[in-house]
């Protein structure tokens, strides 16, 4: 028993030891993939595990037959063809830059097996990738048990959790563990798998899991390991280097903040408002595409919204018998010129930016193959084919007047940067 139990209040704690979700995911992911791929020294379904079944007198179909013949394959072991399909899927995966490591490098280039993965790779694999990879290569019931476990890890990793959903999560994980017990051998259920059923209870006491992850501490330990210049006095060299870094940080406060020394910069620094970085080219678009681009900028500018409503009301009054489709088409075709004339004839004080929007951008358009904005990187389809990351796919959530959401998906074919007097506007 831990010495902490000698504290008089320790028995009253709801959570006496905080469970580290990062290492739980890493261990569970290693056990799942090792058993699925039947990897040596990693699989939980081996000869000793089958002998345990014989000793416990359960799962007769998987027990050793005593003749030395190869025992029957369990429902959660992949055949050679299924391994090939799963590895081919992982070799074809492309994720957005900054989302995860290159998934393609986590698979052996020649053999159908997984290479050692870091904790964050296991996190992405268990919550996202494995669900998609096994969707067609396992029997239905084992596949649903696998996917339910992955969905559970994905749900508890969310930054926003509703208290009423915790009861459902806790009940579902009990059922999931029973389903897994029907397909895995008892050796699979080690302490890491057992800790899964306590995660929801820990969320109730400590809050969402991301608030007490081990990732910041692991990164800090990596930093301290770099400070260990002497293997004889490890702790001393760490303390000395860390003290030196604190002195340097204190001195940096007296240096020009616009020109820091020795501090690494984010790759998105200076690009939050938008900056192209690949494939810059000047083009002259045709008049129709140019007017559509100009209209799109006006439609997404908040300051123009009152004029949009005024123009639509004018069209309804002049054409009372026309339908919504005709009105929308006429609004699209005529709003640019109407808005320009409306501001020219206005005697009130108009904001300078509105006048520039009404005049429109320069007719020469700058195009890019890659663009950084708001801390994200976007590619066109052609540039995406050359990259190991996938940055050309976008999603837009649109809401109608009844607040019903419709989601649109697409791929970026071109990136335009419209240049207005004083500012620029990117369009995908």
- pLDDT (tens digit, 0 to 9) for every residue of the chain, 428 residues total? 788 889 999 888 878 888 999 999 999 999 999 988 888 888 888 888 888 888 888 877 777 776 665 666 677 888 889 999 999 999 999 998 888 888 999 999 888 999 999 999 999 999 999 999 998 888 888 899 999 999 999 999 999 999 889 999 999 999 999 999 888 888 889 999 999 999 999 999 899 998 888 888 888 888 888 888 877 888 888 898 889 888 887 887 777 666 655 556 677 777 778 899 999 999 999 999 999 999 999 999 999 999 999 999 999 999 999 998 999 999 999 999 999 998 888 767 778 888 889 989 999 999 999 999 988 899 999 999 999 899 999 998 988 878 899 999 999 999 999 999 888 999 99
In a domain, 258, yes or no: no
Sign for the pseudo-dihedral over CA of 202, 99, 375, 417:
negative
What is the per-residue pLDDT for 73? 66
- Between CA 397 and CA 103 the distance in angstroms is 28
Residue 230: CB partners within 8 Å, gap ≥ 6?
236, 237
367 shares a domain with 240: no
Q: What is the three-class DSSP state of 310?
A: helix
Secondary-structure percent of the chain, ordered helix, strand, coil, rounded to 5? 55, 10, 35
What is the per-residue pLDDT for 368? 96
315 shares a domain with 393: no
In a domain, 416, yes or no: yes
419 shares a domain with 378: yes
Q: Give the structural domain span for 340.
A: 286-361
- Between CA 307 and CA 311 the distance in angstroms is 6
In a domain, 240, yes or no: yes
Which tokens is 247 given?
């002195």
In a domain, 139, yes or no: yes
132 shares a domain with 170: yes
Q: Which of 344, 361, 378 is the last residue of a domain?
A: 361
In a domain, 262, yes or no: no
119 shares a domain with 55: yes
131 shares a domain with 105: yes
Q: Which of 334, 361, 388 is the last residue of a domain?
A: 361
413 shares a domain with 385: yes
378, 362 in Cβ contact below 8 A?
A: no
In a domain, 41, yes or no: yes
80 shares a domain with 110: yes
144 shares a domain with 292: no
Q: Which of 310, 340, 361 is the last residue of a domain?
A: 361
Sign for the pseudo-dihedral over CA of 182, 188, 194, 199:
negative
138 shares a domain with 24: yes
What is the per-residue pLDDT for 13? 84
What is the per-residue pLDDT for 173? 95
What is the per-residue pLDDT for 92? 92
What is the per-residue pLDDT for 296? 93
In a domain, 1, yes or no: no
Count the neighbouring beta carbons within 10 Å of the beta carbon of residue 306: 9
Total tally of structural domains belonging to the chain: 4
98 shares a domain with 18: yes
155 shares a domain with 92: yes
Q: What is the crossing angle of helices 234-252 and 215-227, to 10°?
A: 100
């Amino acid at each position: 028993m831990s010495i902490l139990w000698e504290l008089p209040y320790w028995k009253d704690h709801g959570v006496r030891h905080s469970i580290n979700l990062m290492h739980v995911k890493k261990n569970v992911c290693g056990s799942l993939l090792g058993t699925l791929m039947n990897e040596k020294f990693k699989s939980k379904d081996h000869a000793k595990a089958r002998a345990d079944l014989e000793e416990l007198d359960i799962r007769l179909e998987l027990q050793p037959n005593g003749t030395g013949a190869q025992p029957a394959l369990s429902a959660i072991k992949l055949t050679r063809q299924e391994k090939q399909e799963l590895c081919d899927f992982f070799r074809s995966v492309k994720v957005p830059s900054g989302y995860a490591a290159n998934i393609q490098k986590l698979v052996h280039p020649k053999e159908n097996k997984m290479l050692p993965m870091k904790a964050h790779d296991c996190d992405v694999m268990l919550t996202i990738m494995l669900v998609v990879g096994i969707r067609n290569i396992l029997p239905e019931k084992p596949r649903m048990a696998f996917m339910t476990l992955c969905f559970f890890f994905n749900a508890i990793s969310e930054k926003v959790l509703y208290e009423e959903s915790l009861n459902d999560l806790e009940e579902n994980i009990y059922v999931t563990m029973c389903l897994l017990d029907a397909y895995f051998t008892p050796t699979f259920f080690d302490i890491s798998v057992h800790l899964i059923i306590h995660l929801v209870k820990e969320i109730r006491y400590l809050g969402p899991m991301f608030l007490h992850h081990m990732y910041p501490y692991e990164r800090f330990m990596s930093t301290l390991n770099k400070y260990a210049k002497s293997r004889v006095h490890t702790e001393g060299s760490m303390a000395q280097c860390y003290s030196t870094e604190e002195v340097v940080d204190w001195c940096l406060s007296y240096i020009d903040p616009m020109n820091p020394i020795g501090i690494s910069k984010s790759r998105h620094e200076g690009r939050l408002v938008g900056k192209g970085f690949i494939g810059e080219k000047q083009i002259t678009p045709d008049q129709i595409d140019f007017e559509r681009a100009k209209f799109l900028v006006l439609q997404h500018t908040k300051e123009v919204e009152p004029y949009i409503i005024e123009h639509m009301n004018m069209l309804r009054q002049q054409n009372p018998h026309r339908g919504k489709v005709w009105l929308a088409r006429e609004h699209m075709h005529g709003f640019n010129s109407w808005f320009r004339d409306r501001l020219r004839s206005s005697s009130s004080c108009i904001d300078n930016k509105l006048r520039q929007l009404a005049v429109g951008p320069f007719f020469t358009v700058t195009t890019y193959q890659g663009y950084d904005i708001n801390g994200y990187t976007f590619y066109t389809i052609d540039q995406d084919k050359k990259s190991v990351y996938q940055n050309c796919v976008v999603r837009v959530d649109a809401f109608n007047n009844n607040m019903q959401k419709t989601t649109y998906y697409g791929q970026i074919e071109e990136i335009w940067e419209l240049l207005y007097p004083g500012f620029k506007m990117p369009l995908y």
